[in-house]
Amino acid sequence: VAVMLFYQIGELFQSYAVNRSRQSISAMMDICPEYANIEEDGKLKQVDPDDVEIGTEIVIKAGERVPLDGVVVSGTSFVDTSALTGESVPREVTEGSEIISGCVNGSGLLKVRTTKEFDDSTVAKILELVENASSKKAHVENFITKFAKYYTPIVVCAAVVLAFLPPIILGGGFAEWIQRACIFLVISCPCALVISVPLGFFGGIGAASKQGVLVKGSNYLEALSEMKTIVFDKTGTLTKGEFVVSEVIPNGWEKEGLLEVAALAEGYSDHPISAALKKAYEEAELGELSMDRVEQAEGIKAKIDGRVVYAGNAKLMEEKGVEYEPCTVPGTVVYLAAEKEFLGTIVISDTVKPEAKRAIAQLKQSGVKKTVMLTGDRKDVGEAVAESLGIDEVYTDLLPGDKVDKVEALLGELGEKEKLGFVGDGINDAPVLSRADIGIAMGSMGSDAAIEAADVVLMDDNILKISSIMRIAGKTLQIVHQNIVFALGVKVLVLILGALGMANMWEAVFADVGVSVIAILNSMRTLKVK
Amino acid at 126: I
3-state secondary structure 306-342: CEEEEEECHHHHHHCCCCCCCCCCCCEEEEEEECCEE
Phi–psi pair at 138, nearest 5 degrees? -75, 165
User: CA nearest 144: which of 74, 206, 198?
Assistant: 198
Question: Do residues 398 and 415 lie in contact, with contact meaning Cβ atoms separated by under 8 Å?
Answer: no
Element (DSSP H or E) covering residue 286 = none
C-alpha–C-alpha distance, residues 431 and 440, integer Å: 12
Catalytically active residues, by annotation: 233
One DSSP character per residue, 504-525 reads -HHHHHIIIIIHHHHHHHHHGG
Question: Do residues 84 and 99 lie in contact, with contact meaning Cβ atoms separated by under 8 Å?
Answer: no
User: CA nearest 263: which of 246, 252, 249, 275?
Assistant: 275
C-alpha–C-alpha distance, residues 361 and 51, integer Å: 47
Question: Do residues 389 and 357 lie in contact, with contact meaning Cβ atoms separated by under 8 Å?
Answer: yes
